[in-house]
Amino acid sequence: MAGEQGGEQAQAPVAATGADRRSYDPFKSVPLLRGPGAAQSESLTTVLVALAANFLIAAAKSAAAAVTGSASLVAEAAHSWADAGNEIFLLIADRRSRRPPDRAHPLGHGREAYVWSLFAAIGVFVAGSAVSVTHGVQELIHPEPASHFLIGYLVLAVSFVLEGTSFAQSVRQARPEAESMQRDLIEHVLATSDPTLRAVFGEDSAALIGLVIAAAGLGAHELTGSPVPDAVGSILVGALLAVVAFVLINLNRRFLVGQEADPRVRAAALRALLDLPEVARVTYLRLEVVGPRMVFVVGDVDLTGDDTESHLAVRLRALEAKISASPAVAGAVLSLSAPDEPALEA
């Protein structure tokens, strides 16, 4: 009879989690774990701004490259077309990672964001870096003179403004998050669990630097009459893109294979758990990132009071349901602490 009652009691908190998700968040004080909804909308805006900017820039650079014959502009055009294509991957990443959990994917589909962002990073390397380096080497072997330099300068200037607009949007999104984690901007972009923000920030940073390199190569070509500086500029742009691509590929790989949450997030989550009236102490806690701003919680806890085993099981399931009520928690699995296990300090 006690087992049957315990089973009925254990189901009640779980059934209530749908309402709880709208009204209760035990981790609301944990930085970057306040629910992915608003942040995902901001990420979508960042990607859309980048897509629009890169499409316009790619078209303008391609026209300018055809008119001037500049190797650096060809490299920049390839770079921008690659970026525009990559934004499509990032839009797919944003859309598919939002899908709700189902029976086959009880923790949701958040990790799909890293899969599609990985494809985008590979695109930066293949369609951007490889094309730029290859064209620069060909230009060194078979040099061709450039002309209509003014058109090239104007297109590069307009591109800088458009890329700067996209970059400013990614900075606008990243800065408040970085401040909440007491990180500098670059540190946060490298550490964030949001791959779309990192991809746009990285691509736009490389684009702005690449535009300066292209302008220098084009200017040196005009001043010296030699296409060599222009070709070298193309190779340098390709090398820059290769570095950015490898960084993005490696970071997406780390999140795909299983990345633990930032220690500061874990410490704040531990404090939030210890603030719950049901929890006397916590002896083990792991927060694994399972998507942008989403974690899976595993822990060992000692509950308050001195209940029987059947009542403890019911209370433990209820506590799991309460933790899972947070919009940023994909699920929680808790076990009872052994008496001799040391407590974690918040």
Residues ≥6 apart with Cβ < 8 Å to 343 = 281, 282, 283, 302
Q: Tell me, what's the pLDDT at 14?
A: 38
State the CATH number of the domain containing residue 330.
3.30.70
| Mean pLDDT, range 191-199, rounded to an integer | 90
| 39 confidence band (pLDDT: 50, 70, 90) | low
Average pLDDT over residues 77-106: 84
Q: Which residues of 44-69 are buried (b: 16+ CB within 10 A; e: fewer)?
A: bebbbbbbebbbebbebbbebbeebb
Q: How many CB atoms lie within 10 A of CB 308?
A: 10
Q: Look at residue 33 in the predicted model and tell me its pLDDT.
A: 59
Q: In which residue are the tokens 């606008």 written? A: 172
Residue 295 in any domain: the answer is yes
Q: What would the mean pLDDT of 76-86 be, rounded to a whole number?
A: 82
Quick check: is 341 in a domain?
Answer: no
Residue 342 lies inside a defined structural domain of this protein: no
pLDDT for position 38 = 52
Position 18 scores a pLDDT of 40
Edge to edge, what strands does the sheet with 329-336 contain? Answer: 259-260, 279-291, 294-303, 329-336
In this structure, the answer to whether residues 118 and 214 fall within a common structural domain is yes
- pTM for the predicted model, two decimal places: 0.78
190-209 mean pLDDT: 90
308 and 250 in a common domain: no
Alpha carbons 142 and 134: distance in angstroms, whole number: 12
Whether residues 42 and 11 fall in one domain: no
Q: Higher pLDDT residue, 211 or 32?
A: 211
Residue where one domain finishes, among candidates 231, 259, 287: 259
- What residue numbers bound the domain in which 116 lies? 37-259
| Domain identity same for 107 and 248 | yes
153 lies in the same domain as 15: no
DSSP H helical ranges for the chain: 2-15, 17-23, 37-68, 71-97, 112-123, 131-141, 149-180, 185-191, 195-224, 228-257, 263-274, 309-324
Answer whether residue 343 is part of any domain. Answer: no
Cross-strand partners of 303: 279
44 and 55 co-located in one domain: yes
Distance CA 256, CA 276 (A): 31
Q: Model confidence over 123-170: pLDDT tens digits?
A: 888 777 888 888 889 888 888 777 788 888 898 899 899 989 999 988
pLDDT at 106: 85
d(CA 56, CA 253): 31
Residues 301 and 279 both lie in one domain: yes
| 91 and 25 housed in the same domain | no
pLDDT at residue number 1: 34
> Residue 305, by phi and psi: left (phi above 0), alpha (psi -120 to 50) or beta?
left
The 10s digit of each residue's pLDDT in 270-313 is 998 998 888 999 999 999 999 988 899 999 999 888 777 678 88
Given CA atoms 62, 68, 69, 71 in this order, what sign does their dihedral have?
negative
Mean pLDDT (whole number) for 241-250: 92
CA separation (Å) from 228 to 96, 156, 207, 231, 285? 45, 19, 21, 5, 58
pLDDT tens by residue, 19-37: 444 456 677 767 665 445 5
Number of domains, the chain: 2
Q: Is the pLDDT of residue 98 over 90?
A: no
Q: Of 213, 242, 259, at which residue does a domain stop?
A: 259
What is the bridge-based pairing of β-strands 259-260 and 279-291?
antiparallel
| Residues with Cβ within 8 Å of residue 50, at least 6 apart in sequence | 83, 87, 90, 166, 169, 170, 200, 203, 204
Clarify whether residues 176 and 324 are in a common domain. Answer: no
Average pLDDT, the chain: 83
**Can you give the pLDDT at residue 126?**
78
Residue 332: its pLDDT value, please? 92
pLDDT higher than threshold 90 for residue 253: yes
Task: Examine the fold and report which residue of 194, 226, 259 is the final residue of a domain before the chain moves on.
Answer: 259
106: domain CATH number is 1.20.1510.10
CA distance 209 to 262: 30
Please tell me the predicted confidence (pLDDT) of residue 11.
36
Q: Is residue 345 part of a domain?
A: no
Weakest-pLDDT range from 98-107, 181-190, 199-208? 98-107
Q: Is the pLDDT of residue 231 over 90?
A: no
pLDDT at res. 180: 81
C-alpha to C-alpha distances, 218 to 54, 62, 70, 138, 200, nearest whole angstrom: 21, 15, 7, 17, 26
